[in-house]
Chain A
Amino acid sequence: AQSVTQPDIHITVSEGASLELRCNYSYGATPYLFWYVQSPGQGLQLLLKYFSGDTLVQGIKGFEAEFKRSQSSFNLRKPSVHWSDAAEYFCAVGTLTSGTYKYIFGTGTRLKVLA
């Protein structure tokens, strides 16, 4: 069965520190992978996506993610976190089944940034 696992429910980092959020997926075919961010009371904003090609993808707000097929992972990174990055982050895999394209989301990682 297709699934997405985000092992860390909460992560706290100091402003200016580096960040890595983990994501592991289970999907039989080549996955479409996404990271979204959700601020309180808001919808989801796309940070970056992987469809094919270069396994290191750049996104908005200085985020990047690396697709590692051998580890079934798509971890999100940022070299220096800003206080405004505090939010909830969701990893998702896009699946195509019987003509329906749907996303399976992880349970999210809530990021807290210390000043």
Chain B
Amino acid sequence: ETGVTQSPTHLIKTRGQQVTLRCSSQSGHNTVSWYQQALGQGPQFIFQYYREEENGRGNFPPRFSGLQFPNYSSELNVNALELDDSALYLCASSRDNSPLHFGNGTRLTVT
């Protein structure tokens, strides 16, 4: 059984740039969620995708957007990067309401 994989593992961007983070869901999972974990904090819900549609969003601005593909892989896009966007971005997959399975995350640093 393949777990959740994320790429890249680390990324450094400049303020104002755009970034795309990628996630491959665990085999058999049809739902993907993205979380932002700032240093010293717990993960915060960004949004969730099911059947290629966004079906829930946390308190994040529209410059955070995503996609889910037919193979259930997903992307998180962030436009106009700000310094406060520096964080660990975690992708999690699940099937229906089963517990979330998390990837190891992408560490984004905005300078």
Contacts and interface: CB of A to CB of B under 8 A. Distances in A.
Nearest to A32: B97
B99 to A, nearest CB: 5
A102 B101 contact: no
A108 to B, nearest CB: 5
Q: How large is the interface on A (under 10, 10 to 19, 20 to 34, 35 or more residues)?
A: 20 to 34
B99 A49 contact: yes
28 contacts: A4-B42, A41-B104, A42-B104, A43-B4, A43-B90, A43-B103, A44-B43, A44-B90, A46-B99, A46-B101, A90-B43, A94-B97, A98-B56, A99-B55, A100-B48, A100-B57, A101-B48, A101-B56, A101-B94, A101-B97, A102-B33, A102-B58, A103-B33, A103-B43, A104-B45, A105-B43, A108-B41, A108-B42
